[in-house]
């Protein structure tokens, strides 16, 4: 595992505004470090009153077909397709294992992507489940080690921190703009 590369990617992610290049570089460092076939981030949204999840970012090793443009991975209804995952995420727990052992509804979405083993971990931003980060192994049935699970939990925390930093930067930009506008109005009032 290349800890120096992971640390550098984590720092770059924190400095970014959750920009695609920084997130994908972070996923590359993660996925490469454990010989995964894909690493990705999904974001939750509420659509028509239902919680859904959509793939936002992906790194691919080249050993498996990319899934970033797969329309089946957009607005996936959590309650219908992935209720077990959602329950685990709400408990702040990862989901992992051999896809062949997963419930039928989960296998229906995972098997067409050639996933044999999967490890996903919730991204908790503030107190809410923002989405999840995950690894796929498409070449072999892998038993995810404790070290790999811990690595993904750390990645989840780093992504959550980057989201918090992005929110703070956005709020500061809005506050600065409002302050400039107020100062400008005060200046105009004293000129008159």
Name the CATH superfamily for 3-187.
Answer: GAF domain (3.30.450.40)
Report the range of poorest mean pLDDT among 5-9, 39-43, 134-138, 155-159: 5-9
pTM for the model stands at 0.84
pLDDT digits (tens, 9 = 90+) for 44-65: 999 899 999 999 999 999 999 9
Buried-exposed string 88-112: b where 16+ CB fall within 10 A, e elsewhere: bbeeeebbbeebeebeeebeebbee
Domain boundaries of the chain, sorted by first residue = 3-187
Vertex 133, ends 132 and 137: CA angle to 5°?
130
Q: How confident is the model at residue 169 (pLDDT cuts 50, 70, 90)?
A: low
Q: What is the pLDDT of residue 17?
A: 73
pLDDT of 95 strictly over 90: yes
Q: In what helix (H) or strand (E) does residue 121 lie, and over which residues does it extend?
A: strand 117-125
Reported as a pLDDT band with limits 50, 70 and 90, residue 168 is low
């Amino acid at each position: 595992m290349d800890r120096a590369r992971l640390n550098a990617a984590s720092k770059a992610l924190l400095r970014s505004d959750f920009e695609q290049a920084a997130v994908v570089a972070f996923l590359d460092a993660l996925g490469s470090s454990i010989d995964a076939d894909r690493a990705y981030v999904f974001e939750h949204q509420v659509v028509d009153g239902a919680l859904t999840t959509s793939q936002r970012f992906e790194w691919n090793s080249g050993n498996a077909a990319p899934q970033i443009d797969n329309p089946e991975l957009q607005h996936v209804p959590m309650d219908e397709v992935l209720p077990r995952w959602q329950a685990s995420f709400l408990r702040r727990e990862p989901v992992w294992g051999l896809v062949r052992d997963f419930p039928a509804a989960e296998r229906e979405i995972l098997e067409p992507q050639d996933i044999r083993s999967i490890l996903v971990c919730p991204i908790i931003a503030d107190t809410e489940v923002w989405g999840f980060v995950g690894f796929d192994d498409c070449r072999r049935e892998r038993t995810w080690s404790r070290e790999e699970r811990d690595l993904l939990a750390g990645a989840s925390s780093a992504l959550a921190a980057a989201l918090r930093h992005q929110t703070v930067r956005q709020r500061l930009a809005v506050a600065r703009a409002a302050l400039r506008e107020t100062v400008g109005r005060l200046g105009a009032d004293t000129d008159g």
